[in-house]
Chains A and B, each alone.
Chain A
Amino acid sequence: MIQNYLKIAFRNLLRNKVYTFIHVLGLGLGISAFVFILEYVSLEKSVNQFHTNVDRMYRLVNVATDGASWGEVEPGWAALAKERFPEIEDYCRFADGIASGVMQKAEGGESFKEESIGYVEGNFFEFFTFPLLKGSAEALKQPNVIFLSESTAAKYFGKTEAPGKTLLLHNQFGKTTFTVGGIYKDMTDLSDIRYDMVLSLETLKSPANTNGNDWVRLDNLDNQYINAFFLVREQANYQELEAKFNTLRNELSQENDGIVFRLQAATNIHLAPSLNDPLLTTGNVKYVYMLAGIALLILLIAWFNYINLSTANALKRANEVGVRKVIGATQAHLIGQFLGESLLTNGLGFCFALMLVGTLQPLFAELIGKQVSLQILGNTPFWMYGLGLLLAGSVLSGLYSAWILSRFKVIETLKGKRTSNSRGIWLRKGLVVGQFVISTSLILATIVIYSQLRHLQTGELGINTEQLLVVSGPQIGKDSTFATRSNAFVQTLAEQSFVQEYATSNVVPSRYYNFRTSGFTQPGSKPKDELKSYAFAVIGDRYLKTYGISIKAGRNFTPQETDVEWNNNSKVMLNERAVAELGFSSPEEAIQTKIKWDERYLEVIGVVADYHHTSLKNSIDPIIFYPQKSAVYYSIRLTPEGMGDKVAKLEKLYKTSFPGNPFDFFFMDENYQKAYYEEQQYGKLFTTASLLAVFIACLGLFGLATYTVESRTKEIGVRKVLGASVSSVVMLLSKDFLALVGVAILIASPVAAYFLNQWLQDFPYRIAMEWWIFVAAAGLALLIAFVTVGFQSVKAGLMNPVDSLRSE
């Protein structure tokens, strides 16, 4: 019996090549999109889960009154907590941002700028599960020890044995010597902690190694710069522990900033456990859900195709159903047979999908910018759900068609009646509408995302980024002679004919601020105003001019003012936003007032025009500008022509002035674009998704059109004999389909508009959902549908009527 079913199924698939092709292609594309997205979801879900004790690990998180949360806390809490709270078995701290600098092989040797580097607790390799290849984990408990990843060790030492060798790190703590204590396996994409090299935190305990940076003291309770993880005992209640942490904070903290502690489970650090979990995560659970949703929608379109085409085709097979019933088939037999056919089709689709997945894997990895493969599916149980879903979908879509087919009444089929049940037709129409609702929504999303991206990329920043190049200041050789050498370098810059403008500063636009802090008041401030937070930007006297930022009131810093020591300085500038935030009614009013910062008084000497310091994704922050000569960055505007040449010349000048330092530079406009990486990813994703959805939906539409033309051949023949023109035949056959697409557009537009508007709300600078967007999406959907249907219609319109009539 099964054999008989399979035989028929195969012969039917072969006989109806067009339909088979449509099904297998559509299902194949749908399933491969689904598999890829399953891979991605598995990847995201398995990040950080590989640590042996992950279930008992918690990260201490700060939550501000406005709901913002961050993982950098004061380093002193960890030891205090372990001492006082019996629930805590162990802790591990690490700090990344503060370590970066230039690493040198030996005095005067080759050097590299290293960003992926951190100071970590001595028990780092015991606390977390990062396999060591060489050396003992214990070694990290000593000061001045460095562990390297396998590939970093190769970068510095090639094939020679790394452990025991020394490296020189030049960073904000000056020059420090480290001995290589061990080598660990490269940290993978599956970890949020990813360091090329780790330094023993113990190093920072010695004042000799901190260069007067007192804020870094490991027992301090006022500087938030370190990540603190806790290993909690088996039966501990983490919520009680959280409460204890807050009691401790209230007892000991000097700050009155309204911040509370939360303990975030390590399993939830990458992806939040739910959409409305407020704590900061490294991944984006919204994005993961959205991707999964899109995958399902695309798959749905493919299954709709199956239901549509197989039930439309049912009329052709009605006779077979009737005959089989007469010779003894029950409805169950027939359902079995048709279900078998659908499973076979789905199976072929699945095989095709596996082929596609195999071939397109690298393209997908590139699209999402992560390393993924089929193996990743094994990391989580999602592949089982996925497979279950695929099976369920295949069975349901098959079952539905089978049920429709097997219900035909013998007598009607034998009498040759075309009693297509009207419910079937409505269902078919409904499914087509559903497919185009999905497709049109995705088209709309693509248009909106790209418009918004363009809006961000081309929006007015308030600064001039043209030909502007930023060179990182040197780290090697920052001794007593550095200030003089830096001045000399700036002097040489000024002399170059291809340098239009130049400035030194501690921050540059498109990178973050020096820090954010609160505690500012002015004589007219209201209570609680001191809780407002301000961004701090430390700049030299040429910064504003170089970036083309205008001064609204007052004056710029003088070179002398930038020479004053940090603690002795009494002058600041504000941006307009900060002026408003402090409660001044105009820039002029702010000038010459003294604002209070904790215990210090700072005179406002000037107000600068607002500009987008980070990117157009964020609204403009209130900024306080603080004068210093420090040269963390050199910003240089070049003359327009012959860029490459000038960069080479610059490099030469830099290397002469600062021997041994890597020449690390970027272009300002390019760096701004990096801020929109996420939106670019969304754009690519939605383009791909809508292309797929539209294509699969059109495959189905093409099938239906083919079927319609087939079943109306005779009618068309008669109409042509009666004098119908080609265009009237095309219209006759297309108008019903276009009406369905029209209905879909009417449904999709408000729904998609709602969700896209939600998305746009995240952007302070956003496009309006203008009418043309809807017209464009609608036009596109209609055009594509018309071309798809039109192909078959035109063929029918051009056919010689005699052929169609003779064939009866």
Chain B
Amino acid sequence: MIKLNQIAKHYPAGFGKVYVLRQIDLTIQEGEFVSIMGPSGSGKSTLLHILGLLEEPSEGEYRFLDEPVQKLSEKKRTELHRHHIGFVFQAYHLIDELTVYENIETPLLYKGVSGSERKSRVAELLDRFNMVAKKDLFPSQLSGGQQQLVGVARALVHQPKVIFADEPTGNLHSEQADEIMELFQKLNKEDKVTIVQVTHSEKNATYGTRTIRLKDGWMA
């Protein structure tokens, strides 16, 4: 499903350039649950952004669903986001002006899903995450863990093939973190959703099926 071949990322610095990622070869199969680990500044987020088509690699080839995607128009990229990719962020990144229900519903709106189907999809997720009672609240009225649950629900609502999560539990205390990790594991096992997460915690990494370690932009 994901195949990186000699991927590198560098930024201009002074007269030269500074490499953040070097010669990354990586293959992720459908149904895997991969954790990316490594010290701060080692390039984890950058790698995840490249995988999630938010950033373009400077060198190398990236095939997503067997298609080369390293140089894609913004429109095509948005298409892929709409249909196949879900994101979960450390800072949740919910839309403050929308209620829980509306936040979850929005990806479906952009995808052009009909009203009745939207209703049932959102209702199903709310039910599954035990958030029915909270559906009309605004993000600021929720705890961090609850906000991240909404974040996960929003990443799932359009039934993506893969979820990219950058330190999804970084702002949560351990109980809440475990809850999210268990949820990820269940999604991976039962719904066959591919998951790629960045984490600093060895414990979180154990929920996954494979761990990739980065150091100074190199894959160990």
Contact = CB atoms under 8 A, between A and B. Distances in A.
B111 A328 contact: yes
B98 A328 contact: no
Nearest to B78: A330
A329 interface: yes
Interface stretch (A318-326, A464-472, A495-503): A318-326
B89 interface: yes
B173 interface: no
A516 B85 CA distance: 91
B78 A329 contact: yes
Most B CB contacts (10 A, CB to CB) among A324, A328, A411, A414 go to A328
Interface string B175-204: 000000000000000000000000000000
Interface stretch (A3-11, A117-125, A591-599): A3-11
Contacts of A327: 81-82, 87, 106-107, 110, 154
Contacts of A325: 78, 81
Contacts of A491: none
Contacts of A12: 97
A10 B96 CA distance: 13
B72 interface: no
B82 A323 contact: no
Given A326-B81, A328-B158, A1 B109 contact: yes
Interface in A264-293: none
Chain A interface, >50% SS class: helix
Given A411-B55, A414-B89, A330 B75 contact: yes
A4 B54 contact: no
Contacts of A15: 97
Interface string B77-120: 01001100001010001111110001000110111000000000
Interface in A127-173: none
A344 to B, nearest CB: 14
B10 interface: no
A246 B75 CA distance: 73
A333 B107 CA distance: 12
A410 interface: yes
Interface in B32-90: 49, 54-55, 74-75, 78, 81-82, 87, 89
Greatest chain A CB density within 10 A among B75, B89, B93, B158 is at B93
Interface string B150-167: 000010001000000000
A580 to B, nearest CB: 79
B78 A4 contact: no
B54 A410 contact: yes
Contacts of A323: 93-95
B49 to A, nearest CB: 6
Contacts of B78: 325, 328-330
B194 to A, nearest CB: 17
Which secondary structure dominates where chain B touches chain A? helix
A327 B81 CA distance: 6
Given A4-B102, A8-B97, A326 B110 contact: no
Contact of A328 (B49, B54, B55, B110): B110
A207 B150 CA distance: 102
Contacts of A329: 78, 110
Interface in A402-422: 410-411, 414
A338 to B, nearest CB: 13
B106 A324 contact: yes
**Chain B interface residue bracket vs A:** 20 to 34
Contacts of B95: 8, 320, 323-324
A510 interface: no
A757 interface: no
A20 to B, nearest CB: 13
A208 to B, nearest CB: 88
B102 A7 contact: yes
A457 interface: no
Interface in A308-363: 319-320, 322-331, 333
A11 B139 CA distance: 14
Nearest to B95: A320
Contacts of A4: 102, 106, 109
A333 B110 CA distance: 8
Nearest to A15: B97
A328 B158 CA distance: 10
A181 B84 CA distance: 90
A319 B98 CA distance: 14
Interface in A395-438: 410-411, 414
Contacts of A410: 54
Nearest to B158: A328
Nearest to A10: B97
A170 B63 CA distance: 105
Nearest to A413: B93
Nearest to A319: B93
A326 B109 CA distance: 13
B49 A411 contact: yes
A415 to B, nearest CB: 8
Contacts of B154: 327
Contact of B82 (A319, A328, A411): A328
Contacts of B158: 328
A329 to B, nearest CB: 5
A313 B98 CA distance: 18
A414 B82 contact: no
B75 to A, nearest CB: 7
Contacts of B98: 7-8, 11
Nearest to B79: A328
A11 B102 CA distance: 13
B74 A328 contact: no
A340 to B, nearest CB: 13
Interface of A: 1, 4, 7-8, 11-12, 15, 319-320, 322-331, 333, 410-411, 414
Interface of B: 49, 54-55, 74-75, 78, 81-82, 87, 89, 93-98, 102, 106-107, 109-111, 154, 158
Given A324-B106, A331-B74, 10 more contacts: A1-B109, A8-B95, A320-B97, A324-B95, A326-B81, A327-B82, A327-B106, A328-B110, A411-B54, A414-B93
6 contacts: A7-B102, A8-B98, A319-B93, A329-B110, A411-B54, A414-B93
- Pairs of residues from A and B, 7 with the lowest C-beta to C-beta distance, nearest first: A328-B82, A328-B110, A11-B97, A327-B107, A323-B93, A411-B54, A329-B110
